[in-house]
């Protein structure tokens, strides 16, 4: 890189320009300029620095000694080096000066945004304080003066490396969605996170109206956020992911920087009483429907507790082999199915059981069944009505099932954990 000090003068409009600074001016009067050239060099891998220094003034025209002032002796070095294409984004930009004092340092990214930094008290060095981004280009402009106040300048441009090993977080709910009051923010990472604190600090969840929201790690790949109680209807929730270049594990960096916003709709919490075999639906605090149901048989009891609807299917296949029950059943067209656990618990339509069993018997393999027709094309059935009234994030509270409470990590069911235990699972 060639760096020139003291070249802010305009070149005269006439005469012959010499690289060493000689110029014959208009009307025959000699005009003398002084040029300072760069010294030192830098590699292309970001390990070196680029430096700007000075040379003695050139002689005047026709052998006459120059009377111009000497160039600055201040020498500026920029690290990463000018032209580096794989500079480490985890390291700061540094600018140092030898035999001088820095007067100005400006570092900008490819969008023109300035990168913050700190000048040392003695003016001999400057270090960036804001983090660099991977796979980005930066430009540096620095100025200094020597002890005689003679100026020197340096300019550099470099690019940071892209990480070879990355991770992403798959989140729910989706941006722009409307969900029920029990919907947590759930993030599943594609790589194990060992620095949970760093990752959680890079994720923010805020609500309007405001409410305290706390994150909880279920394991090294799953982080959920929720308030102490169900969301209030109408709440607007924003997930802010700032994971780009955050080290989730040694040598593994995040790639995401985005905002996700969703809205909490009306409040609907239903109670499945499996002693009475009824499903009572409450919308905004009022009972809006009661349906007869079938719960889990004694050998396959339904999980108890607060279960959140995480997926909805107009029709789906249910095969017992996928949940460890061998070949007990394989139904290709289960209508109005809504998932309650990852392990396979659904609340769904049932067209194969006698009508007399609904509201009277518990014979299922753990699901909650409502009366339906094959094909699910009758909107007057219990299953069709409940399906139409439900949304992802609604809660089904199962009581009197005879089984233990569902594991909080089995589905979106963190509401079954005491608040103190939930907060204890936070890394910040």
Gap between the Cα atoms of 246 and 244, Å rounded: 6
Contacts of 350 (CB under 8 A, 6+ apart): 294, 334, 358, 364, 369, 370, 371, 372, 383
Q: Which two structure tokens, joined as six digits, stand for 342?
A: 């990852």
Q: Which of 216, 336, 365, 367 is catalytic?
A: 367
Contacts of 393 (CB under 8 A, 6+ apart): 173, 179, 180, 181, 182, 183, 264, 265, 308, 309, 412
DSSP state of 175: T
The yes-or-no answer on residue 348 being catalytic is yes
Q: Which two structure tokens, joined as six digits, stand for 364?
A: 């299922």
Phi, psi of 397 (to 5 degrees): -95, 115
The yes-or-no answer on residue 367 being catalytic is yes
Q: Which of 216, 336, 348, 365 is catalytic?
A: 348
**Count of helices and strands (H, E) across the chain:** 3, 30
Gap between the Cα atoms of 337 and 318, Å rounded: 10
Gap between the Cα atoms of 132 and 162, Å rounded: 11
Q: Which two structure tokens, joined as six digits, stand for 169?
A: 């977080």
Q: What is the dihedral of CA 9, 144, 48, 57, to 10 degrees?
A: 50
CB atoms within 10 A of CB 423: 14
Closest CA to 35 of 13, 67, 65, 68: 68
Q: Which two structure tokens, joined as six digits, stand for 387?
A: 């399906």
Residues classed as catalytic: 348, 367
């Amino acid at each position: 890189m060639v760096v020139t000090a003291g070249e802010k003068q305009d070149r005269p409009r006439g005469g012959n320009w010499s690289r060493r600074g000689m110029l014959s001016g208009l009307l025959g009067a000699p005009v003398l300029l002084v040029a300072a050239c760069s010294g030192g060099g830098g590699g292309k891998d970001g390990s070196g620095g680029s430096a700007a220094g000075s040379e003695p003034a050139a002689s005047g025209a026709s052998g006459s000694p120059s009377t111009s002032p000497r160039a600055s002796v201040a020498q500026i070095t920029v690290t990463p080096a000018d032209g580096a294409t794989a500079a480490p984004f985890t390291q700061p930009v540094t600018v140092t000066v030898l035999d001088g004092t820095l007067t100005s340092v400006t570092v900008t990214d490819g969008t023109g945004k300035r990168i913050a930094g700190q000048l040392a008290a003695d003016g001999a060095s400057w270090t960036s304080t804001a983090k660099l981004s991977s796979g980005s280009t930066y430009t540096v402009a620095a100025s200094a003066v020597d002890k005689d106040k003679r100026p020197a300048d340096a300019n550099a441009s470099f690019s940071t490396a892209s990480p070879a090993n990355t991770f992403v977080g798959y989140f729910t709910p989706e941006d722009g969605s409307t969900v029920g009051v029990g919907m947590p923010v759930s993030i599943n990472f594609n790589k194990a996170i060992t620095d949970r604190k760093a990752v959680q600090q890079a994720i923010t969840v805020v609500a309007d109206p405001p409410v305290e929201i706390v994150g909880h790690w279920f394991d090294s790949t799953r982080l959920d956020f929720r308030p102490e109680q169900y969301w209030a209807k109408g709440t607007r929730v924003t997930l802010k992911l700032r994971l780009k270049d955050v080290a989730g594990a040694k040598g593994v960096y995040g790639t995401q920087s985005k905002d996700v916003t969703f809205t909490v709709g009306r409040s609907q919490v239903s109670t499945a009483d499996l002693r009475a075999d009824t499903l009572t639906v409450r919308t905004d605090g009022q009972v809006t429907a009661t349906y007869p149901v079938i719960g889990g048989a004694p050998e396959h009891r339904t999980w108890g507790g607060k279960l959140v609807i995480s997926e909805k299917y107009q029709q789906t296949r249910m095969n017992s082999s996928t949940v460890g029950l061998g070949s007990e059943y394989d139904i290709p067209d289960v209508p109005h199915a809504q998932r309650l656990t990852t392990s396979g618990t659904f609340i769904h339509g049932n067209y194969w059981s006698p009508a007399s069993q609904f509201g009277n018997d518990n014979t299922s393999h753990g699901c909650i069944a409502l009366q339906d027709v094959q094909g699910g094309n009758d909107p007057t059935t219990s299953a069709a009505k409940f399906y139409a009234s439900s949304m992802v994030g609604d809660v089904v509270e199962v009581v009197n099932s005879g089984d233990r409470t569902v594991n909080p990590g089995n589905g979106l069911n963190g509401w079954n954990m005491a608040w103190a235990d939930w907060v204890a699972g936070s890394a910040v």
